[in-house]
Amino acid sequence: MSKSEQGFPGATARPSTIRPIGVYALSGLATDGDRLYSIDTVRGYLVAIDPQTNNTVILNPYQLEDKDWMGVGGLSLADDTFWFTQDESVFWCDRDTLKPTFFARLPYPADGVAVWDATVYVSSQKSGYIHLFERSSGAKLGKFPQPGIGAETLTVNESGLWVCDRDEQTVYCLNPRTGAIQLSALTPFTSPTGITFYAPDGDGEPTCYVVYADEEPYLRDNPNSESPLELAFRDRTFIHPLHLYVNSDERYTLSNGFLIEISYVEELSQLDAVSLNNVEWRIALPANTQRQRVRQVEPIGHPFTIEEQDGQPVAVFRFDQLQPFQGGLVGWRAIVEMYSLKYFLTPEDIDANLSLPAGFQRYLIDDDELSMETPIIQQAARNGAGRETNVLRKMLRIRNYVYDCLSYGIQPKIDTPDVALARGVASCGEYVGVLLALARLSGIACRTIGRYKCPAHPEYRHLPLEPDFNHVWLEFYVPGVGWLPMESNVDDVIERGPYPQRYFMGLAWYHTELGKGIPFSRLNADDKPEKLSVRHLAINHIRFQILDELMPAAAIAASVNDVKP
């Protein structure tokens, strides 16, 4: 079979990015009627934004003189009053006069604020808590832990207290009384700085909007420089809807996805003259999962058949003979829907009495040079797991231990886990090796997954995007739940944490799931030399194109009932 079509009903495109005019970096987001409100942190302007036209009006145009709004972070609108944070303090003001009035002060900088009936919620990254105050008196009512590690902005509605964490790139919905996480979802862009729900007509389901603020590099034409082009940075801020599908039974959320064309090709280019007969070349295809669905797959260069290997689809190319220095292309092109996935399981959701299913013991052994018998790896497994018995807490503890022990660095080759751990610097593949070894020694079944990430440029459509490196991560198995994803290494926070958990039980839309637990590419032949590998025969080419943005719908869950573990 050379082509496969599998529908994914319910996924539809809906472009609706709001790009306010004349602003630099927005933080905090509120809504009333048909307008959105936010703070431009560079100028301290409170702005009103028309989502239909992007028209932007500055409501406090004299701010540069009195500076009452400089350094403002979170923003909320309750009745006819704006609420905002500034340094360690919380203020409110009448929307007509916009004259700030002091409300409360924290021992640490305040980030976000939200008001619901008689309660004021204030988040503080430095304290690690969301603080509750009585609206009428400013009296402290209590606090509960922040769900993430970053600066968090807030909004609140009938569904709960919504938290937008910049470092986690995650939105949480909390129980407003206890702080318990009711759901979590990944944002499609980095650096989210505010959240609100927009319903201009008052009817129907409101739209969840998230504002983003960051810098982006670009090449600037500088006629005064010896080189006409130079690297520079500019502010990038915009507002985008966050679309959610929540599976409450399985406790995961799907959020904004993209329709992506993926092309993988091996270009025959032998390093040495080799003749091979009766050749079978197997290359893993994109998998169908909770967050990823294959619409179409077809061959590039040479026909293939599709076979199943340990539940994973594989393209099988066959040649009667490969002659010395023969040219050619071997590969596939696929159209895939890829969504962000985030589980909101807690350790209390795990049934400790359940054991691994029959046949899963193979995910506990050293089957890929994991050095599990070496003293350094066995001691690291004991240190990483400690005395923890709950599988979620144990896996997270092992992950954080490995993150503490290793720093990320590109290596000329993949070393075994004992060598990488002793060196203290590892690539993503070496991180995976160490994590697999420690987890398996601790009784946690796990397997490798991945191979590539689509370059994270969701605003670039119909343009060829080529990743700089390949990438792998892993899945670990929780009895009674199934396979859960986990990133291999952390690449954007200071060493020794605290480490984000956005990709612990979660994957972004750009993670491409290929070959779960099986080799990505393998070549067999009657007379194949023992040390000959694919890299001696071919050069690989990987290319992505983002075709459209998609929003998840309830039909997603129904369409993946046949997904195999």
What tens digit of pLDDT does each residue of 428-454 get?
899 999 999 999 999 999 999 988 999
pLDDT of residue 313: 96
Paired tokens of 163: 């938290």
Is the CB of residue 528 less than 8 Å from the CB of residue 436? no
**Distances 200 to 28, 32, 36, 51, 240 between C-alpha atoms, Å:** 19, 8, 10, 10, 16
pLDDT at 20 exceeding the cut of 60: yes
Residue 117 burial by Cβ neighbours in a 10 Å radius (0-12, 13-18, 19+): exposed
**Which amino acid belongs to residue 328?**
G
Rounded percentage of the chain residues whose pLDDT exceeds 90: 77
Averaged pLDDT, 471-488: 95
Q: How confident is the model at residue 493 (pLDDT cuts 50, 70, 90)?
A: low
pLDDT of residue 14: 53
Residue 191 burial by Cβ neighbours in a 10 Å radius (0-12, 13-18, 19+): middle
pLDDT of residue 16: 81
Q: What is the mean pLDDT of the chain?
A: 91
Averaged pLDDT, 31-48: 94
The distance of Cα 365 from the centroid of its chain, to the nearest Å, equals 29
Residue 80 burial by Cβ neighbours in a 10 Å radius (0-12, 13-18, 19+): exposed
pLDDT of residue 13: 41
Rounded percentage of the chain residues whose pLDDT exceeds 70: 93
Q: Which of 549, 17, 26 is nearest to 241 (CA)?
A: 17
Query: Which residues fall within 8 angstroms of residue 290, CB to CB, at 6 or more apart?
Result: 252, 254, 341, 556, 557, 560, 563
Sheet holding 81-86, edge to edge: 72-78, 81-86, 89-94, 101-105
pLDDT at 67 exceeding the cut of 80: no
More confident residue, 492 or 517: 517
pLDDT at 516 exceeding the cut of 50: yes
Tens digits of per-residue pLDDT, 270-320? Answer: 888 889 999 999 999 999 999 999 999 999 999 999 999 999 999 999 999
Among 28-42, 117-131, 196-210, 383-397, the range scoring the smallest mean pLDDT is 196-210
Averaged pLDDT, 524-530: 89
- Tracing tokens 């071997």 back to the chain, one arrives at 330
pLDDT at 325 exceeding the cut of 80: yes
Averaged pLDDT, 124-142: 97
Q: Which of 504, 14, 450 is nearest to 243 (CA)?
A: 14
